[in-house]
Structure 1
Amino acid sequence: MHGTSATGYRHTREGTPCQDAWASEETASGLVLAIADGAGSAPHSREGAWAAVQLAVRAFLPLVAPWERLPDAHARTEELTEAFREVRAAFLQWCQGPPGLYATTLTVVVLAPGWLGQLSVGDGLVLVRADASAAGSASYHLLPRAHTGSEYANETVFVGSPTALAQLRVDCVRDDAIDGVLLSTDGLTHALLRRAPAGPPLPHDAFLGHLFDRLARSDYDHAEEERRLKAFLDSDQITRVTGDDKTLLWAIRT
């Protein structure tokens, strides 16, 4: 598993810190991964993003169990939704004031044997890798996204928004072939997705393949990967298309 965040050049220019956050937790059965993107217009969104991912990991961790424990997609979806209700209630209590001051999106993934659960409010991305066990056959898929919009608090949906539950995206994916997952804030949309001639955007298979292949190497070096990613996220190639903060969090099942 590897996660990293980089401050967008807009925030660097203005002297403001990165407003993205990520957190993860691993058990014997799998993982919980969470990312958040604080709204640029909210004065305390950085703190809100950090609170949201920490609360999410805590609430979703009990759901990390093999498919056989609850072989019912609808029941799994209900569990995911209930965990978000817990997160939102705890977040509103933590704010101790107007939640708009701490506005943040949230994307959570539960990865366990036989299934993957996705829950998102806002504009995060989740991509999965499947069929990587056969040489050269790995495929990458973009999971359906929740409500999208700009970073401005009056135009998108956040954890503390009154409509958060109504505009929540929840999916339970039953697939034994899934062995990798990547979460990203919307600042990396152009790097991770490519336009298709018709229909929705498609994953950049080559870029994703490099990321997952490096993570799977026996000589994987966390510090070297972090250096490589920071250089890429701060490169002209990325800053030409986005001035937003950027977060990547990805993991493979070994």
Structure 2
Amino acid sequence: MSPAAWRVAAASVTGAYHAFKGDACQDRYRLEVTAGGVLIAVVSDGAGSARFGGEGAAMVCEHVTTALARAIGRVQPKPSRALLLKCCRVVRSGIEAARAQALNEVPPDAGLYDYHATLVGAVVLPGKGGIFFHIGDGAALAVAADEGRWVMSEPSNGEYSYETYFFTEGNWRRNLRFKLIEPGFDTIFVMSDGVTDVGLKNHSSGPQPFMPFFEPIGRFLAGAGREEGEKALTATLDSDAVREKTNDDKTLVWAQAAR
């Protein structure tokens, strides 16, 4: 198994609010397929209220992805409960490393809160399942090739809908969530909250994916080369139809196991 085990694409688009202010996009992502064919996809949204939110987002994406890639190694591991637990431990250690870097670099007039950023990601063996990991809003979605089955790690907000959680908070361990991805789910979407504004719909049972948004994107990306696919994905996220629904930064990572 090799990186050819997955087709991948990703895009980040600056929201209208940040563009109007002349600010850069505060979202960051990392997308990697190990030599053994394991998918690692991580997205982070730097808090708009944080001075260095984008830097914090970059730190947590980098450290979590690097830690997972190093722990998994160059061969495809056998799926097991022990492997899933190991990945959970490694995600925690990656977060701790990102927090340590932020603390080391924080200016005298700032604090760790100036690096506030969310975290959502997936580590998946092709066709054999994996886990989602999550702090705060954004979402991660796994879709099966048959019967339209899906499993999702939902956004998590604070006491109020406009609040969320960050890896830089003192209680980050309590807010870190994991969710199992069973075997058979071959398409993965990981997104920041700017995309959930468009891609999720509220139901009485909680938020659910709006598949008329995700399915056409997935079909196009599955038939396109990566460069073509990412140009089209960027255009979709930056379209008038999407901008009418949200002025936030938007990041969407897609991956599909080879069929």
- Report the TM-score, using the length of structure 2 for normalisation: 0.84
Q: Say whether 1:181 aligns with 2:188.
A: yes
Q: CA RMSD in A?
A: 2.2
The alpha-carbon deviation at position 249 of structure 1 amounts to: 0.3
Q: Does the Cα contact within 8 Å between 1:29 and 1:66 map onto a contact in 2?
A: yes
Q: Does the Cα contact within 8 Å between 1:56 and 1:87 map onto a contact in 2?
A: yes
Matches of 2:92 and 2:232, distance apart in 1: 37
After superposition, what is the alpha-carbon deviation per residue over 1:191-229, rounded to whole angstroms, capped at 9, x for unaligned? 212343x32232222221212212222xx1333323322
Task: Kindly tell me the number of residue pairs found equivalent between the two proteins.
Answer: 240
Q: Does the Cα contact within 8 Å between 1:33 and 1:109 map onto a contact in 2?
A: yes
Q: Which position in structure 1 is the counterpart of 2:40?
A: 32
Q: Which position in structure 2 is the counterpart of 1:94?
A: 101
Q: Which position in structure 2 is the counterpart of 1:211?
A: 217
Segments of 5+ residues of structure 2 without an aligned counterpart are: 1-7
Q: Say whether 1:48 aligns with 2:56.
A: yes
SS at match of 1:166: helix
Q: Does the Cα contact within 8 Å between 2:10 and 2:233 map onto a contact in 1?
A: no
Matches of 1:190 and 1:168, distance apart in 2: 22
Matches of 2:113 and 2:161, distance apart in 1: 12
After superposition, what is the alpha-carbon deviation per residue over 1:173-200, rounded to whole angstroms, capped at 9, x for unaligned? 232x11110000011113212343x322
Instruction: Decide whether aligned partners of structure 1 residues 115 and 46 sit closer, same or farther in structure 2, where only a CA change above 3 A counts.
Output: same
- Report the TM-score, using the length of structure 1 for normalisation: 0.86
Instruction: Decide whether aligned partners of structure 1 residues 147 and 76 sit closer, same or farther in structure 2, where only a CA change above 3 A counts.
Output: farther
Q: Does the Cα contact within 8 Å between 1:107 and 1:121 map onto a contact in 2?
A: yes
Instruction: Decide whether aligned partners of structure 1 residues 209 and 83 sit closer, same or farther in structure 2, where only a CA change above 3 A counts.
Output: same
Written as runs of structure 1 = structure 2, the 5 A alignment for 1:2-151 is 2-27=9-34, 28-61=36-69, 62-63=71-72, 69-72=78-81, 75-95=82-102, 96=104, 97=106, 98-113=111-126, 114-130=128-144, 132=145, 137-145=146-154, 147-149=156-158
After superposition, what is the alpha-carbon deviation per residue over 1:67-111, rounded to whole angstroms, capped at 9, x for unaligned? 7x3522xx4453233112211221122112322111111112001
Q: Which position in structure 2 is the counterpart of 1:230?
A: 234
Give identity over the alignment, percent: 28
After superposition, what is the alpha-carbon deviation per residue over 1:125-149, rounded to whole angstroms, capped at 9, x for unaligned? 011110x2xxxx4515241325324
Instruction: Decide whether aligned partners of structure 1 residues 195 and 116 sit closer, same or farther in structure 2, where only a CA change above 3 A counts.
Output: same
